[in-house]
Amino acid sequence: MSSEVAPPFVAGNLALDFINTLFGTGADQHECLEEDASVVEWLCQAGVLTEAVTPPPAGLLQRSRALREEMRRLVISAKDGRAADPDLVNEVLERGHPVERLEWEPEKAAFSKKEERRDLSAESLLQPVVQALVKLLTEENLPLVKECEACDCVLLFHDQTKSHRRRWCSMASCGNRAKALAYRAKRKAK
Ligand SMILES: [Zn+2]
């Protein structure tokens, strides 16, 4: 397993991008979440955390990896119309739920509802990722959640193209590779 790999942000969905932090197959598998701090870094890169949390909450890495595994299982089974246990997702939903407050805003001369992160626990930090998953599983068209068609690529993405014909995690890598393979196969057949 190699380290120091930039996480791919190709899914068009926060939850799927999180699942994609472990990608590739066999000896070519890449792990983007190597330690607690890399989870914080990923959350910052994904834009759901505005400032680094130092030190990161204890157990963040372990929690993240277990959650990621469950999330992948939930997506795959939901696509197949099969049940799967959302234990960890429900735990994060419950323990990391943001706090809602009513606040007076002098500029607007009106009350407004504010949402704030409950604390700096792993569950609070992972809350946006889990919220994105819940939305994906309950509100989106699951056949449009796809796995890249390249045989050695397990990246998931949400196909938001108009034609719904997206087949690759990215055209630059898997798409072009598949095209080149098909071209070579065709030439050989001639
Ligand atoms: Zn791919």
Q: What is the pLDDT of residue 3?
A: 47
- Delineate the domains of the chain, giving CATH numbers in brackets: 14-189 (1.10.3300.10)
Q: Which of 71, 1, 61, 9 is nearest to 35 (CA)?
A: 61
Rounded to the nearest angstrom, the distance between the alpha carbon of 25 and the centre of ligand 1 is 11
Q: What is the pTM of this model?
A: 0.90
Q: What is the pLDDT of residue 185?
A: 85
Q: Which of 44, 20, 33, 65 is nearest to 158 (CA)?
A: 20
Q: What is the pLDDT of residue 152?
A: 86
First CA to last CA distance, the chain: 39
Rounded to the nearest angstrom, the distance between the alpha carbon of 22 and the centre of ligand 1 is 13
Q: What is the pLDDT of residue 105?
A: 96
Q: What is the pLDDT along the chain (190 residues), one digit of tens a residue?
A: 444 578 899 999 999 999 999 998 888 899 999 999 999 999 999 999 998 999 999 999 999 999 999 999 999 999 999 999 999 999 999 999 999 999 999 999 999 999 999 999 999 999 999 999 999 999 999 999 999 999 889 999 999 999 999 999 998 889 888 888 888 888 888 7
Rounded to the nearest angstrom, the distance between the alpha carbon of 1 and the centre of ligand 1 is 18
Rounded-to-integer distance, Cα 122 and Cα 63, Å: 7
Rounded to the nearest angstrom, the distance between the alpha carbon of 179 and the centre of ligand 1 is 12
Rounded to the nearest angstrom, the distance between the alpha carbon of 151 and the centre of ligand 1 is 8
Q: What is the pLDDT of residue 187?
A: 85
